[in-house]
Amino acid sequence: MARKTKRIGFIGYGQIGMTVHQMIDRDQANGMEVVFVHDMASERLKDLPDDLVLQDLGDFHSRDADLVVEMAHADVTRQWGTTILAKTDYLFISVTALANQDLEQDIQQTTYQYGTRAFIPHGGVVGMDALLENRDVWEEVHVTMKKPPKNVDCAAAGVDPESITKETVLYDGPTRGVCPLFPRNTNTLAAIAYAGIGFDRTHSTLVVNPQWDTATVAIHAHGGGIELDVERVEGITGVTGASTPASIYNTVQMIGSSGPGIHLR
């Protein structure tokens, strides 16, 4: 039986990158092989074999990856997205990058020019399929994200999370505006906007409270005689919800796995 192994390159080896790597390696039959790992913090890579470490991301094409997966920061897509897509397929999990309309257009255009594909994962979005499939009928999509302030990177917004002592609304408005203010925390909001009715029409509310120890995403969409309500509450470490690493692995294997088995799509 002929089976081509898919070569996967990693950018970002933090909480998600490390876990997804373990998950790929754990299943020998999935038909995927990690061929490079890049992280701007070299100490993150000290336990990896030398031949897996890619010090200079500019050399990524030397590893001949079929798919490059960003699990680092939206800056990576700004700096490298089109360069990568001129050579190979690219999955970027820091979806807030797409709130920049010029970048979104550049990515689209590059994929058409070079015949490559860009992917975004559903990540923290439960029900992305329903949002996407009915994107032409929704009259309104409203998302409320609730988190403890210590798990929100407020640097770009100029807010000190330590100073927040009670329930506080950090943002309430179109999703396009929240992404640059909290780029590491609003990937789920960005993915909901992109899947459904867009960054300008999707309304997002970001609320923090130091009494909370979980992260909540509540989606409400209605239109065309359909009401959709989805809410997930989960533990959170750093900027990442408990369910995210497994969700990202699932997306990587949906795109990259060439192994046997019954595949859900």
Does 21 contact ligand NAD by CB under 6 A? no
Does 201 contact ligand NAD by CB under 6 A? no
Within 38-77, which residues bind ligand NAD (CB under 6 A)? 39-41, 44, 71-73, 75-76
- List the beta bridge partners of residue 204: 143, 173
* Span from 33-41, 61-69, 110-118, 162-170 in contact with ligand NAD (CB under 6 A): 33-41
Strand order of the β-sheet with 32-38 is 32-38, 6-11, 67-70, 89-92, 118-119
Does 7 contact ligand NAD by CB under 6 A? no
Q: State in angstroms the smallest separation of the CB of 148 from ligand NAD.
A: 15
Does 15 contact ligand NAD by CB under 6 A? yes
Total residues at interface with ligand NAD (CB under 6 A): 30
Residue nearest to ligand NAD (CB): 14
The DSSP secondary structure of the chain, one letter per residue, reads: ---PPEEEEEE--SHHHHHHHHHHHH-TTS-EEEEEEE-SSGGGGTTS-GGGB-S-GGGGGGG--SEEEE-S-HHHHHHHHHHHHTTSEEEES-GGGGGSHHHHHHHHHHHHHHT--EE---TT-TTHHHHHHTTTT-SEEEEEEEE-GGGS--GGGT--GGG--S-EEEEEEEHHHHHHHSTTT-HHHHHHHHHTT-TTTSEEEEEE-TT--EEEEEEEEEETTEEEEEEEEEEEETTEETTHHHHHHHHHHHHH---SS----
In the complex with ligand NAD, the residue whose CB is nearer, 11 or 206, is 11
Per-residue x/- marks for ligand NAD, 148-187, CB under 6 A? ------------------------------------x--x
Per-residue x/- marks for ligand NAD, 205-234, CB under 6 A? ------------------------------
Exactly one of 110, 204, 240, 257 binds ligand NAD (CB under 6 A); that residue is 240
* Span from 12-20, 128-136, 218-226, 249-257 in contact with ligand NAD (CB under 6 A): 12-20
In the complex with ligand NAD, the residue whose CB is nearer, 159 or 241, is 241
- Binding residues for ligand NAD, per CB under 6 A? 11-17, 39-41, 44, 71-73, 75-76, 93-95, 121, 123-124, 184, 187-188, 191, 238-240, 244
